[in-house]
Amino acid sequence: MSKVLEHRCALITGASRGLGFEIARHYLEAGASLMICARNEEVLEQSASKLKQFAGPGQSVAARRADVSKPKDVTRLVLEAYREFGHLDILVNNAGIAGPSGTLESVDWEAWTRALEINLLGPVLLCRAVLPHFKKAKRGKIIQLAGGGATNPLPNLSAYAASKAAVVRFVETLAEETREDRIDVNALAPGSLDTRMLDEFIAAGPARVGRAFHERSVKLKQEGGVPLAKGARLAVFLGSALSDGITGKLLSAVWDPWETLPQHRGDLNATDVYTLRRILPADRSLTWGDGD
């Protein structure tokens, strides 16, 4: 996949550090030009300067401060990306926060809703902003970062879990809306990462995030977590022509054989593989619950 993104332009949110920065670096190495954004302008400019070192001839890196939960910021960001490059091929919705930790009745309500504004409404706003352009071009790639909260309950992290589950169902729905427009929309689960979010979970302490989750977080920190490159490589695949026609899926960078998925497009399009679905008793070899 050395230069599979050559001549493509991507907008990557939350790209000033962590996984977002790693995805941006991999995108540059794959040949893309980038518009990156984050809320902290100082850190963003520092990251843009580092990323420019990976840009080859004909590639560029632009950086704009933006809060993805604010409609005006999102509109301006997308318009400036088009002014910068003349076209846009890929949107990577990476920006996200952990939200408040603690039992639902004890957490700050504004912090709870703020997590949904950034983790769910932000991606929705960005998709609304790029879709008219993608539909006009009859092509486009939207990559949404998911998390453990999408597929498992996370006690004491209800805002994070709810926002991640919601955004995956949004991805599935938007994929169906845009299938005829040749726009591929997928969610990416990068695995358990050693990032600033993990540090926040550990700092919150067992009383707020739960003893079992805190112990897992500490162990993950000690072991180093899943390499950021795993998620970044999947993001490159999903942004490239290699993944054309694969849409509406939640793909794990750690567990799924995503490099071979082009061989299985027919099965993917004909089934609900790699999607969120309700589990029936029969799915667990139970004989009750089906019309009893």
* DSSP-based three-state secondary structure for 93: strand
Do 65 and 39 touch, CB atoms closer than 8 A? yes
* DSSP-based three-state secondary structure for 187: strand
Classify strands 140-145 and 90-93 as parallel, antiparallel or unpaired: parallel
Do 182 and 136 touch, CB atoms closer than 8 A? no
Q: Return the ∠ at Cα 59 (arms to 53 and 64), rounded to 5°.
A: 80
Closest CA to 147 of 263, 214, 231, 229: 231
Is 160 a known active-site residue? yes
Do 88 and 82 touch, CB atoms closer than 8 A? yes
Amino acid identity at 35? M
CA 121 to chain centre: 13
Closest CA to 125 of 11, 239, 204, 208: 11
CA distance 283 to 211: 31
Q: Please list the alpha-helical segments (H only) found in the chain.
A: 18-29, 41-51, 71-85, 109-116, 122-137, 158-178, 196-204, 206-209, 211-223, 228-239, 265-270
Catalytic annotation, pick one of 27, 82, 160, 274 = 160
Encoding tokens for residue 155?
């006690």
Catalytic residues: 160
